């Protein structure tokens, strides 16, 4: 009887403790680009907070917007947003106002990047910044590429061997730059000229999908010899072939800033803020920068980065190189509709 009673007590104790010991870890869901967070840092954060970090990936800024439209922004604790889309997403109710008091490490952020876009500081914390330019195979191209027009009006050696982005901001924006206009032009005639240029280019474009950066990248086997690309991604794929060169074209390109924002429907805002504070601690931010090859807005992290990293002109272009480049800005609805219509013709 004593043995049965002891077993019964042990069973009752086990049942009482089961909800606590068997409880699932807290979960953080991040909507993000792929390969944009150091997985080793994620593991450290998960152990520190007894949590599980899950990521959902998008392939372009436009794709991210489509994903958020499908569920009205629900299902994500953190959303990686391009600076130009921050205010739009906030207006749609997808982002929660940022409580900076809950992110002590935000004091490390350079105000230049925190305020690079209207209302940016109210909704997001800058993550990385970089440029949009051209990567090409210097061993497969006779003439060095220095201009957007070399992609938009490709010579025979480039025809059917170029890749473009499927982002309307970048595709139409850089077409405008190549014609000598502002990427933020609100002139209908200029946008019509950019559309004409894109339609002329279309037969010579092999793909409008962002090229992969791994060993299977078409840039490595020569199927693609030139492509639009973000600066840090270019450095990543350059590790696999030293003949790959990245250039910010003579007409200028886009200077972009990515921000992390807390989702308006975040299931665990406390965990989301803990993650933002964790990745912005200088040592962690420096590790992140070296993982993705992008310029960090974190001043404390910059003090910890190797001189070779800080002196890399692809990561940190000088002011003269950036002079002709632009941030994207919000466009009037009628102009945005015209650009969207042009984009639809290109991709149909």
Checking if the pLDDT of 1 tops 70, the result is no
Mean pLDDT of 74-83: 96
Domain that holds residue 208: 131-254+323-347
Is residue 215 domain-shared with residue 297, that is, in the same domain?
Answer: no
Is residue 209 domain-shared with residue 82, that is, in the same domain?
Answer: no
pLDDT at 186: 96
DSSP-assigned letter for residue 27:
E
Checking if the pLDDT of 193 tops 60, the result is yes
Q: What is the pLDDT of residues 90-123, one digit of tens each?
A: 999 999 999 999 999 999 999 999 999 988 999 9
Is residue 113 domain-shared with residue 188, that is, in the same domain?
Answer: no
Is residue 288 domain-shared with residue 333, that is, in the same domain?
Answer: no
Give a yes or no: residue 281 inside a domain: yes
Give a yes or no: residue 9 inside a domain: no
Is residue 49 domain-shared with residue 149, that is, in the same domain?
Answer: no
Checking if the pLDDT of 16 tops 90, the result is no
Checking if the pLDDT of 207 tops 90, the result is yes
Percent over 90 (pLDDT), the chain: 87
If you average pLDDT over every residue of the chain, what do you get?
A: 91
Number of domains in the chain: 2
Mean pLDDT of 68-78: 96
Closest CA to 165 of 195, 213, 190, 132: 132
H helical segments located in 130-167 = 149-152
- 40-46: long-range contacts, CB 8 A cutoff, minimum separation 24: 40/287, 41/278, 41/279, 41/284, 41/287, 41/288, 45/274, 45/275, 45/278, 45/279
CATH classification at residue 248: 3.40.190.10
Is residue 208 domain-shared with residue 261, that is, in the same domain?
Answer: no
pLDDT at 277: 98
pLDDT at 24: 74
pTM for this one?
Answer: 0.88
Q: Count how many residues are written for the chain.
A: 348
Segment among 130-134, 207-211, 260-264 with least mean pLDDT: 207-211
pLDDT at 9: 40
pLDDT at 23: 62
Is residue 120 domain-shared with residue 139, that is, in the same domain?
Answer: no
Q: What is the pLDDT of residues 275-297, one digit of tens each?
A: 999 999 999 999 999 999 999 99
Checking if the pLDDT of 58 tops 80, the result is yes
Checking if the pLDDT of 71 tops 60, the result is yes
Mean pLDDT of 171-188: 96
> Where residue 348 falls among pLDDT bands split at 50, 70, 90?
confident
What lies within 8 Å, CB to CB, of 14 at 6+ separation is none
Is residue 210 domain-shared with residue 337, that is, in the same domain?
Answer: yes
pLDDT at 320: 87
Is residue 68 domain-shared with residue 157, that is, in the same domain?
Answer: no
Is residue 204 domain-shared with residue 265, that is, in the same domain?
Answer: no
Give a yes or no: residue 104 inside a domain: yes
Mean pLDDT of 35-63: 95
What is the separation of C-alpha 156 from the centre of its chain, rounded to a whole number of angstroms?
32
Is residue 118 domain-shared with residue 34, that is, in the same domain?
Answer: yes
Q: What is the pLDDT of residues 38-48, one digit of tens each?
A: 999 999 999 99
């Amino acid at each position: 009887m004593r043995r049965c009673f002891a077993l019964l007590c042990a069973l009752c104790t086990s049942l009482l403790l089961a909800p606590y010991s068997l409880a699932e870890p807290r979960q953080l869901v991040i909507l993000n680009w792929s390969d944009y967070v150091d997985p080793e840092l994620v593991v450290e954060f998960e152990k520190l907070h007894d949590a599980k970090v899950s990521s959902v990936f998008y392939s372009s800024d436009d794709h991210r917007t489509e994903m958020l439209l499908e569920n009205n922004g629900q299902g994500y604790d953190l959303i990686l947003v391009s600076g130009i889309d921050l205010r739009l997403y906030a207006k749609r109710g997808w982002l929660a106002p940022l409580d900076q008091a809950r992110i002590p490490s935000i004091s490390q952020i350079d105000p230049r990047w925190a305020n690079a876009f209207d209302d940016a500081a109210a909704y997001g914390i800058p993550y990385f910044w970089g440029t949009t330019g051209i990567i090409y195979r210097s061993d497969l191209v006779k003439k060095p590429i220095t201009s957007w027009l070399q992609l938009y009006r490709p010579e025979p050696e480039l025809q059917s061997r170029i890749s473009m982005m499927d982002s309307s901001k970048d595709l139409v924006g850089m077409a405008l730059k190549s014609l000598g206009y502002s990427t933020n032009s609100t002139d209908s005639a200029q946008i019509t000229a950019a559309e004409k240029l894109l339609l002329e280019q279309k037969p010579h474009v092999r793909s409008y999908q962002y090229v992969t950066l791994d060993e299977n990248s078409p840039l490595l086997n020569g199927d693609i010899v030139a492509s639009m690309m973000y600066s840090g991604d270019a450095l990543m794929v350059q590790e696999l072939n030293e003949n790959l060169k990245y250039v910010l074209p003579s007409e200028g390109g886009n200077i972009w800033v990515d921000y992390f924002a807390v989702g308006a429907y975040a299931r665990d805002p406390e965990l989301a803020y803990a993650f933002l504070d964790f990745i912005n601690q200088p040592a962690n931010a420096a590790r992140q920068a070296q993982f993705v090859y992008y310029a960090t807005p974190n001043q404390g992290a910059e003090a910890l980065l190797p001189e070779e990293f800080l002196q890399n002109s692809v990561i940190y272009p000088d002011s003269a190189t950036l002079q002709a480049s632009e941030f994207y800005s919000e466009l009037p609805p009628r102009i945005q509709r015209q650009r969207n219509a042009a984009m639809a013709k290109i991709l149909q």
